[in-house]
A and B are shown apart, each in its own frame.
Chain A
Amino acid sequence: MKSLLEITINTESDIIAARQIARETSNTIGFDKVDQARIVTAISEIAKNIIMYALVGVITIEILEKDNKKGISIRAIDRGPGIVDIKSVLDESNLKGLGAGLPGVRRLMDSLEIESDVGKGTRVYMEKWLR
């Protein structure tokens, strides 16, 4: 599929590449400069988490179209240690949550879902739609 872009995240320069692709894609979709900056920041934070906790992972960026609306989705998959307590990493009063920056990322996007198996890895999926 043409609108599907995959980036392997392993080093800091991969983060920059992912940001670049996210910015171009969100610009093509029609997001304004502020939302572009938010989407790029979100992908940047998620990519940083991959390097920090899982060392390596894959991020997929996809253009979404549904009922005449356009949007972007970002999927991040790694085979790292996984997250024991997902609720706590999404909880702002919990320092673990703040450490991984996920509550902040969730607010930059429209939605954020996490699935994780301890010892097997983590999958993060987020979307943002054009208003």
Chain B
Amino acid sequence: MEQLLIDYKQILSDYVVNRKEETLYNGQNYVRQLIQKNVAPEDVINIHRKAVEEIYTELPDSLSHAYDFLIEVMVQYGMKTREHQSLLIQKEELRIEMEIAARIQNILLNTTVPKIDQLDIGMISEPIRKMNGDYVHFLFDEEEDYLSIAVADVVGKGVPAALCMSMLKNGLETLEYGNNDPSYILQVLNRIIEKSVDDGMFVSSFYGRYDVNSSILTYGSAGHEPALYFNSKENAFCDLECKGLLLGVMPEVKYSQSNIRLEENDFIMIVTDGVTELRDCDVIDSRNLLKEIAFSIRHLPAQEMCEKIYLELQRLQDYNLEDDFTIVILKK
């Protein structure tokens, strides 16, 4: 503290005499040192007061008392400053924890897109925050020639959504055989989510089972937005409507399922609401936009289509998408 006072007194007395900009600049650099050394605001006032008292030896007592007053006031201020500093440290600790959690989630929810001769599959899933609230699960049963696809979206974002997703993944893994009916799978998943996850935590899910030999996709939906089907013969899109309650709302829910046969160059796009709930754009417009983009690049492989759509929507939204973003494309 002694040395700090000597330095401060020097700068202050310089300034009082010459009033140069340079001295003010030095003063700010000096204070930066104090901040680094965690010197409290009330200590800074005290240094100033001592320096003033040493420079002007004949100060009136009342001025000295005024400094006492300022110190007293600044103690409260200092308490708040330190509170703030320690909150910043804690925030940094949380950030590190979060990064580790995100890495673990990536490993846990990692999906590999299966390679099948008869079907071209593409996928993109980008979280808006560190943790992803969307999840895609593929299962290819080679013996039975069935491919299963689940696309799920937790209502909510961040850590709670991620934890809920791990639950869903476990559920899907215990059901691992490809030829289960989508309506049955959704019914079981609903039971798992309803029992084990907090009230107010819901999941929307599309579930499809593709029969590689007959090219028939059987699909069901739990409150998920309709997948888009592109019919290449008619050059037109249509929605794969399928009604069903969100997972986790009620204990015993029955789900329906429908079939569609894919012809050459037909494709199906399964998306989460991060793709269709764009800023300044209602869902219908967003879906039309999605169809336009997809139509213009329909000749590309499924994976490239997914990536191009993501880039284009990002560009249109000024690189500021607001939700987890997932697209799966199945193309015959």
Interface of chain B residues 65 through 107 with chain A (CB within 8 A): 68, 71-72, 75-76, 79-80, 82-83, 86-87, 90
Q: Chain B's nearest CB lies how many Å from the CB of A92?
A: 5
Q: Is the CB of B82 within 8 A of A107?
A: yes
Residues of B within 8 A of A107 (CB): 79, 82
The 0/1 profile, CB within 8 Å of B marked 1, for residues 69-91 of chain A is 00000000000000000000000
Contact A103/B71 with A32-B46, A34-B46 known, Cβ cut-off 8 Å: no
Q: Chain A's nearest CB lies how many Å from the CB of B7?
A: 18
Q: Is the CB of A93 within 8 A of B83?
A: no
- Residue in A37, A41, A93, A104 whose Cβ sees the most chain B Cβ within 10 Å: A37
A108 at the binding interface (Cβ < 8 Å): yes
Q: Chain A's nearest CB lies how many Å from the CB of B90?
A: 5
Q: Chain A's nearest CB lies how many Å from the CB of B36?
A: 18
Q: What's the dominant secondary structure at chain A's contact region?
A: helix
A33 at the binding interface (Cβ < 8 Å): yes
Residues of A within 8 A of B126 (CB): none
Give the interface residue-count category, chain B: 10 to 19
Q: Chain B's nearest CB lies how many Å from the CB of A81?
A: 25
A98 at the binding interface (Cβ < 8 Å): yes
Residues of A within 8 A of B86 (CB): 92, 103
Residues of B within 8 A of A40 (CB): 72
Contact check: which of A34, A93, A98, A103 meets B42 at CB < 8 Å? A34
Q: Is the CB of B79 within 8 A of A104?
A: yes
Contact A104/B83 with A33-B68, A37-B72 known, Cβ cut-off 8 Å: yes
Bound complex: CA A98 to CA B87 (Å):
11
| Chain A interface residues (CB < 8 Å from chain B) | 32-34, 37-38, 40-41, 92-93, 98, 101, 103-104, 107-108
28 interchain pairs, CB-CB under 8 A:
A32-B46, A33-B46, A33-B71, A34-B42, A34-B43, A34-B71, A34-B75, A37-B42, A37-B68, A37-B72, A38-B42, A38-B75, A40-B72, A41-B76, A41-B79, A92-B83, A92-B87, A92-B90, A93-B87, A93-B90, A101-B79, A103-B83, A103-B86, A104-B79, A104-B80, A104-B82, A107-B79, A107-B82
